[in-house]
Structure 1
Amino acid sequence: MLLICQQSHHFSSFFRGSSIASYDYVELCASLPIYITVTLCSLYVYRLDYPSIGQCIIINNKNFDRGTVSKEDHSCAASFVCVLLSHGDEGVFFGTDGSVELKYLTSLFRGDRCRSLVGKPKLFFIQACRGTDLDAGIETDSADDETTRIPVEADFLYAYSTAPGYYSWRNTMTGSWFMQSLCDMVTKYGKELELLHIMTRVNHKVAVEFESISNAPGFNAKKQIPCIVSMLTKEMYFTP
């Protein structure tokens, strides 16, 4: 597991609360089981009966070699998880020394570039703005062993903190709305629900339970909805 928590960069100084969110995620990772046994049909469920789920790496984004992790041998790991917390724009993630396209970063882990992750879930959780639009909200009434060719882009999941083009909110005291909700829902339902079901509950929690409070003109009473893009080909459970 790779965790990139970028608390500051040269594009903006407004990113308080990231250290809180990253701490919560590390605590969550520590609580997840290291050894997994899956009893459901392997045709529709990712195998997690590897020696370990993976590893958690907290790094300094300024000194990050983008190709390092993708070149490592992940043969003994069941999955790859990357958590990114920083500023951003649509398709772009900001670092201390410049910006990088998310498409380039994630492409390093495609099946044709990282063979040891072929057929395994590659999950990216991205806490960053995707634009400057604000959501004002609206009232509502209430496997087998046979060799199979698969696309190089298969088995990815991208969980964005907000919809395309929109601002991503965070509280200076408690961290980002998205990361709070993600940690809460995985902690609460990680032993019983499939990953996409958990992410649906994350979406609901962010959409219903959070609303901005700000004295800045135009920034008060705004909402947010995460965006989940799945190219997973099987279900993923954390159940031991």
Structure 2
Amino acid sequence: MLNEDSVENGGDKETSTRKLQSSGQQNFFDTSDIYDFSHNKRGCAVLIMNHEFANPDLNLPPVQHDINSMSKLFSSLGFDVKLLINLTLEQLSLKLDEIRDGISNDCDCFVCVISTHGGEVPTFYQQTDIKGAYSKTEHYFLNTSGDVWTRDIMDTFDDQKCRALRGKPRLFFIQACRGNDVDEGVDLIDDGTKIEKDNNVDEYVNQDVFQIPCYNDSLVMFSSASGKYAWFDEKEGGWLLIALDRVLSSRSGEDLLSLLTEVCGDVATREVVNPSIQRAHRSKSTACVYHKLCKDIYFPSQNLK
């Protein structure tokens, strides 16, 4: 994740009808198409935040803004917020296992937010069938003691390891770089015509497809496209988490996927302003969502709990 000023730098099925408030109006929904948010507990929101590293040059002070904003946001949505800040790999693993083992059946969903450095690398696998060896590009993030596979975090809360979350939504929001390329974007003139930059080519031609585990009833949202830098603001925090806070804290009673589309639009309108570093100047970021949700998600007002 990079500073814009520096490149170095099973829920139970419910067949009754639920009434939700949206923009001052009462809307009625068939809740068979909505995840059940009527449990006694909203659930856990795990915040994995790393802003201090063994190499001080990697320190990310703006992550502290993410800690504050995400803690406030998910507390206001009724979640039990768990802060995991600057932990080693061993400490992180122990804490995650402890949190997973403490999750009860009587909760609505699970949230995990990650804010730190990150990247993608090809990982090689060997199969015994005729396909033989193959590789896929996977994401990792940095903590105080080294790299952590992002899939390991998701695996900790999958259906096999956390039966209490079966059939319930699991949401992962990741503010971390996914590579070393800059998203240059394109310029638009008033009529919407694109002005291609001289070196703007289709860089995804013949590129390995990025793969991330996305289990049933899960959603994964990254702050940038595969292979690209993720950006943050010194005074506000990561671009994705700034937008997430703005949208979710100001809107209620709306479908989560619609709100995340607005979050993507918010991130896309931002632009790095740093003329001293030409490679970064006027670069962009595009948030990406992967999901296997099978129902809509609405966060009811906490006073309905």
Identify the TM-score tier after normalising by the shorter chain.
Answer: 0.7 to 0.9
Paired residue for 2:159?
Answer: 111
Query: How far 1:14 moved relative to its partner?
Result: 4.7
Query: How far 1:15 moved relative to its partner?
Result: 2.0
User: What is the CA–CA distance in structure 2 between the aligned matches of 1:237 and 1:222, rounded to whole Å?
Assistant: 34
Q: Is the aligned partner of 1:207 residue 2:268?
A: yes
> Identity rate of aligned residues, in percent?
28
Aligned length: 209
**What are the residue-to-residue correspondences of 1:20-99 with 2, within 5 Å?**
20-32=65-77, 34=78, 54-60=79-85, 61-62=87-88, 63-64=91-92, 65=94, 66-90=96-120, 91-99=139-147
More strand by share: 2
Letter in 1 for 2:62: G
Q: Is the aligned partner of 1:125 residue 2:155?
A: no
Structure 1 residues 212 and 14 mapped into 2: Cα distance closer, same or farther (>3 Å)? farther
Structure 1 residues 14 and 211 mapped into 2: Cα distance closer, same or farther (>3 Å)? farther
Structure 1: 5+ residue stretches without partners: 35-53, 143-151
Largest Rg, 1 or 2: 2
Query: What CA RMSD, in Å, does the superposition of the two structures yield over aligned residues?
Result: 1.6
Letter in 2 for 1:74: S
Structure 2: 5+ residue stretches without partners: 1-44, 121-138, 193-213
Paired residue for 2:283?
Answer: 222
User: What is the SS of the residue equivalent to 2:186?
Assistant: coil
Q: Is the 8 A contact 2:115 2:238 kept in 1?
A: no
**TM-score between both structures, scaled by the size of structure 2:** 0.65
Query: How far 1:4 moved relative to its partner?
Result: 1.2
Moved over 6 A (4+): none
User: What is the SS of the residue equivalent to 1:29?
Assistant: helix
Structure 1 residues 14 and 7 mapped into 2: Cα distance closer, same or farther (>3 Å)? closer
User: What is the SS of the residue equivalent to 1:2?
Assistant: strand
User: What is the SS of the residue equivalent to 2:300?
Assistant: coil
